[in-house]
Structure 1
Amino acid sequence: MLYVVGIGPGSRDLMTQEAIDAIDKSQVIVGYKTYLNIISDMIGDKPTISNGMRGEIERCTQAIEEAEKGQDVAIVSSGDSGIYGMAGLILELIDKKESSVKVKIVPGVTASIAAAAKLGAPLMNDFCHISLSDHMTPWEVIQERIDAAAKSDFVICLYNPRSRERPTLLREALNIITKYKSEDTVVGIGKDVARENEIEKITTIKDLDETEINMTTIVIVGNQHTYQSGDKMITPRGYEKRI
């Protein structure tokens, strides 16, 4: 069996029991080295396969090959394995190889959900996820998606918002969003959620400090009804009409 495991944002408390069980029963653990470090105490002396960023195809291929030997294998992703994780790539490679390996996708808590819980209740109405990483999706396509989401007034969760290689894309995204949303729109920031140096902050599009944002940050841009109350970010669901 090949388990494709979402290990959550970084805290054992936010790992599902199914994820813990899959790692426990697997004989080989595969993953990006940073994620393996997070669960090192769970791995113990089991053999591991790891590499660095952009080594996803190699990792997934090796995981399939190990499972084809008859071993139980877990390949881990941070957050949820099916949201910017390894689930899709594993299934694509198995389909291409016509492999008979059995696969079980094990869900996990993704960054937007973990950050939202810390910030309050920003995802109470329709929302979407958009990654600003243009490594695999052309920036022109990402821009079109941001435009459509902002025009429709979705709450927008921005993944991979800013890096040294892409220092300007977050601001470009916010410029698109402000074609339709006020600069006073409430924005929630979750950085290193559920990890040692966790930071949560509520601000606005206008006052957002881009230098605080990196690849381990999730940026949640509210809709026109989202507001801040004390230290909580709230997007009304519509119940206020009945209160």
Structure 2
Amino acid sequence: MSQRAAQVLEAVDAVAGYTTYIDLIRPLIQGKQIVSTAMKKEIDRVSAALDLALAGTSCAVVSSGDPGVYAMAGLVLEMCRERSIAIGGTDNPDNGDQLCIEIVPGIPALCSGASLLGAPLTHDFAAISLSDLLTPWETIEARLEAAASADFVIVIYNPKSRRRADHLTRAQQIIMAHRDPSTPVGIVTGAMRENQRISLTTLEQLHQAEVDMQTTVFVGNSNTFCYDGYMVTPRGYSKKYNINK
């Protein structure tokens, strides 16, 4: 986490979050009021956090990685709008409430995972989640098709769960229609955590990779290569300059 995130956790009176994420930071939040809910209870915990804040209790809503990347910042702001809660930098609504809200940046899995692999995101990339809980699968397929045909490096979030065992295989098939089977693929699970696993494979072998909901998959573009155990996507310097110095 960022230093600012640690400072906020130390300063607030209450912390709201998914049970797994609360457990990860429990040593940092001893003695604080905790609002902990299970998966799919995001609205409940944001509502509870807003109620606490409106009552005068400072509250941090925690997410894994960065709160604005597949996480809670958007829902907090959406619910403020629905409840006519003015937030920092806006005018007070008539007869409404006002809160000071800060979105604290974190380190998303695409950044932590990329650093462990080497430099797979040095050029343009697209991030796509395979979870169809909130997004129709037809939309996800269309985005995979567009990103693959445009030769983006593709970062895949939420590649597999017990309910979605075949989604990654379908994504592999879509991408392979536009990319060489030997395209490098990086697999990172639990980046920067105790269960961290890192491996390199190819697009052709992706369906055999060990992945779960804590895994981020990095599919290279047509120029991505592996060197000495690192995955590298060149920015294009060698095509314009002499880098053999």
TM-score (norm: length of structure 2)? 0.92
Shift of 1:98: 0.6
Q: Matches of 1:223 and 1:169 in 2, distance apart?
A: 20
Relative contact order (alpha carbons < 8 A, sep ≥ 6): 1 or 2 greater? Answer: 1
- SS at structure 2 position matched to 1:128: strand
| Paired letter, 1:95 | R
Residue 173 of structure 1 corresponds to which residue in structure 2? Answer: 171
Residue 126 of structure 2 corresponds to which residue in structure 1? Answer: 128
Residue 98 of structure 1 corresponds to which residue in structure 2? Answer: 84
Q: Matches of 2:54 and 2:81 in 1, distance apart?
A: 14
Alpha-carbon RMSD? 0.8
Q: Matches of 2:220 and 2:213 in 1, distance apart?
A: 20
Residue 18 of structure 1 corresponds to which residue in structure 2? Answer: 4
Contact 1:128/1:154, CA 8 A, preserved across alignment: yes
Q: Matches of 2:202 and 2:235 in 1, distance apart?
A: 20
For residues 14-57 of structure 1, what are the alpha-carbon distances to aligned partners after superposition, in whole Å with 9 as ceiling and x for unaligned?
x1011011111110000001101111110011110011100000
- Say which of 30, 33, 50 aligns to 2:16: 30
- Say which of 130, 153, 161 aligns to 2:151: 153
- SS at structure 1 position matched to 2:217: strand
| Paired letter, 1:183 | P
| Paired letter, 2:164 | R
Residue 92 of structure 2 corresponds to which residue in structure 1? Answer: none
For residues 132-188 of structure 1, what are the alpha-carbon distances to aligned partners after superposition, in whole Å with 9 as ceiling and x for unaligned?
000000000000000000000000000000011000000001100111111111000
Shift of 1:209: 4.6
Contact 1:30/1:49, CA 8 A, preserved across alignment: yes
Q: Matches of 2:207 and 2:23 in 1, distance apart?
A: 30
- Say which of 106, 109, 126 aligns to 2:107: 109
1:237 aligns with 2:235: yes
Bigger CA radius of gyration: 2
Identity of aligned residues (%): 43
| Paired letter, 2:151 | D
Q: For structure 1, list consecutive stretches of 5 or more residues without a partner in the other structure.
A: 1-14
After TM superposition, what 4+ stretches of structure 1 lie above 2 angstroms from structure 2?
208-211
Q: Matches of 2:100 and 2:166 in 1, distance apart?
A: 42
- SS at structure 2 position matched to 1:106: coil
Residue 48 of structure 1 corresponds to which residue in structure 2? Answer: 34
Contact 1:94/1:101, CA 8 A, preserved across alignment: no
Contact 1:190/1:218, CA 8 A, preserved across alignment: yes
Distance 1:210 1:56, change over 3 A: farther
Residue 76 of structure 1 corresponds to which residue in structure 2? Answer: 62
Using the TM superposition, name which of 203-212 and 220-229 deviates more.
203-212
Residue 95 of structure 2 corresponds to which residue in structure 1? Answer: none
Q: How many residues align?
A: 229
Shift of 1:208: 2.3
Q: Matches of 1:91 and 1:140 in 2, distance apart?
A: 27
Q: For structure 2, list consecutive stretches of 5 or more residues without a partner in the other structure.
A: 86-97
- Say which of 59, 64, 70 aligns to 2:50: 64
